[in-house]
Chains A and B, each alone.
Chain A
Amino acid sequence: MAVVGVDLGSQSTKVVILEGDEIVGGASLQTGESAETEARMTVLEALKQAGLKREDLTAAVATGTLAVPVTANLNIAALKTRSPASCVAKGAYFRFPQARTVLYVGADSSMAVRLSAEGEVEESVKNERCAVSSGALLDIVARMLEISVEEMGALSLQSTNPEKVSSRCVVFAEGEILSFIHKEPPVPIPDVLAGANQCIADGLWGMVQKVGVPSELLICGGVARNVGLVKAIEAHLGKPVLLPKQPQYVRALGAAVFARQMEKEGVAS
């Protein structure tokens, strides 16, 4: 009895397969022109990992930016969609039940969610009007310097003198960071990265404060793989955060947990 959670993000598609409480498969693919094809391929890849067939999936839940347009054509039995905020909460609570606030940072969306002791969403703040508190800038910088998110974090920790980004707009910050790199002599890359991480962390922290400064803060989403950003958030919090392994899968995991719940309820009725 396996269930699947599909997270259709704007940059990548993540799939988690659960059998009972055990994660038996996980896969991620870049979202391309047709998000639908990638969704299908990612599910197949995760099935292969788990050694399962498509028929073995008894329930499926999709979430993420592109969930609604894509799932209609995905043709998986009993496929339902759930809101990104509720999936973030479910996935986080599944991994760390002590988490009370979850900060999700995706490629171009982010949110802060406050949870009850039972893991229910009490309040959530989504960043949708302005990209400054999302992963968008880091994505741009990573592409500019041709480095990965993970490398970006590690490199930024070598910074001795972070170069402050003064723009509060991602589009303008991109230009500013470009000018750091083209300066004579150029600003050292670790200092550029540390400045970018700081800029984003400040924006994200504002969002966390809106739902209430938590006792236990969990960070997830693909951008949480950037250890420099995590450190910058920890500096605001004043203590370590809860950081799941492979934080990019938390939302897909939440979707899978929903699917498992649906399956149980289906059996019960």
Chain B
Amino acid sequence: MMTMGIDVGSRSTKCVILDDGKLLTYGSIETGPNIVKTAQAAVEAAVKRSTGIWGEYRMELPDAKVDHLKIEDMACIVSTGYGRAIVPFAHRNITEITCHCRGAQWFVPGVSTVLDVGGQDSKGIRIGAKGEVADFVMNDKCAGGTGRFMEIVAEALHVPLAEIGPLSLQSTKNLPFSSTCAAFGRGAAVTMSKEGERKEDILNGLHEAIANRVMALVKKVGIADKFVISGGIGRNVALVKKIEARLDGLKVNLPQEPMIVGAMGAALFALDSASKKTGRTEEVAG
């Protein structure tokens, strides 16, 4: 029995397909202006095994033929993320907080705190002893502590987003980034570079600033072992390092594919729904 989770984020849309709870395939694409088309294209990416902008797959996938799979083959589909309500083929939609909580436990059993930083928001989730969402905090008011800030600066410095982390690790100078506002990020980066500062040092300062912001956020829900990072920042080695340095000795548990935590949670909820249906015959709503 196959189930699907689809996470329509502000910047990228992720799709995970499970076969009886085992990972069968996943894929992602950039979120376009039309959510319906984007969701369909994300399914297409999963069955064709394409991750668009992220590059290579980090998780091993079974050697099964999947490119013939269709939406109709799924026993249940759950959508999540900011565009979750507009996915026409989803049977249910569940908030990203709940889906991240569930997905994080699949990747890291026993997780207590999740820090998820995506394209346009960041959130901290505290997971209780029974695996429930005990507390959460979200920043979607200011782009300062989100992936968007990094994207803007990367663009201004002409460095591909995937390379800003590794490049910043080569920094030799402690240079505070002069802006806390993402909208000023471009100007700040250009000014610093005109003042003769190296890209490595500018990016290092940017990573410091963002690490401080997201840590201040997640501290509100409480940091405990095991600490998981998910979302786009999970792919940024420098930021993960800086966050770890602020954890008072705790280690960061990084899901193999940090971008699909929400979609994985959604696919697992879809499995729950589908199992219930097949387990006992439900009345078909008239």
Q: Considering residues A70, A129, A171, which has the most beta carbons from chain B within 10 angstroms of its beta carbon?
A: A171
Q: Within 8 Å of chain A (Cβ to Cβ): is B250?
A: no
Contacts of B194 in A (CB 8 A): 34-35, 66, 69-70
Interface string of B180-222 (1 = CB under 8 A from A): 1111100100110011100000000000000000000000000
In the complex, the answer to whether A169 meets B143 with C-beta atoms within 8 Å is yes
Top 3 A-B residue pairs of the complex, sorted by shortest distance between their CB atoms: A131-B183, A171-B143, A170-B183
Interface string of A211-232 (1 = CB under 8 A from B): 0000000000000000000000
Distance in angstroms from A171 CB to nearest chain B CB is 4
Contacts of B179 in A (CB 8 A): 128
| The residue from A69, A134, A178 contacting B195, defined by CB atoms under 8 A apart | A69
In the complex, the answer to whether B148 meets A10 with C-beta atoms within 8 Å is no
Contacts of B148 in A (CB 8 A): 171
Distance in angstroms between the alpha carbons of A130 and B188 in the assembled complex? 13
| The residue from A65, A171, A178 contacting B183, defined by CB atoms under 8 A apart | A171
A131 with B120: in contact, given A10-B187, A69-B195, A169-B143 (CB under 8 Å)? no
Q: Within 8 Å of chain B (Cβ to Cβ): is A175?
A: yes
Size class of the contact patch on chain B: 20 to 34
A182 with B33: in contact, given A130-B142, A171-B148 (CB under 8 Å)? yes
Size class of the contact patch on chain A: 20 to 34
Kindly report which residue of chain B lies nearest to residue A173, judged by CB atoms. Answer: B183
Q: Within 8 Å of chain B (Cβ to Cβ): is A108?
A: yes
In the complex, the answer to whether A66 meets B183 with C-beta atoms within 8 Å is no
| The residue from B152, B190, B196 contacting A171, defined by CB atoms under 8 A apart | B152
Q: Within B1-15, which residues are at the interface with A (CB < 8 Å)?
A: 10
Q: A-B contact count, CB below 8 Å?
A: 62
Q: Within 8 Å of chain B (Cβ to Cβ): is A54?
A: no
Distance in angstroms from A257 CB to nearest chain B CB is 25
Q: Within 8 Å of chain B (Cβ to Cβ): is A136?
A: yes
Q: Within B134-191, which residues are at the interface with A (CB < 8 Å)?
A: 140-144, 148-149, 152, 179-184, 187, 190-191
Distance in angstroms from B94 CB to nearest chain A CB is 23
Q: Within 8 Å of chain B (Cβ to Cβ): is A168?
A: yes
Distance in angstroms from B54 CB to nearest chain A CB is 22
Distance in angstroms from B176 CB to nearest chain A CB is 13
In the complex, the answer to whether A10 meets B33 with C-beta atoms within 8 Å is no
Kindly report which residue of chain A lies nearest to residue B193, judged by CB atoms. Answer: A33
Q: Within B213-270, which residues are at the interface with A (CB < 8 Å)?
A: none
A169 with B187: in contact, given A129-B181, A175-B120 (CB under 8 Å)? no
| The residue from A66, A134, A175, A182 contacting B191, defined by CB atoms under 8 A apart | A66
> Can you show 20 pairs from A to B with CB atoms below 8 A apart?
A10-B187, A35-B194, A66-B194, A69-B195, A69-B196, A70-B194, A108-B183, A108-B187, A128-B184, A130-B181, A136-B184, A169-B141, A169-B142, A170-B181, A170-B182, A170-B183, A171-B182, A172-B141, A172-B143, A178-B33
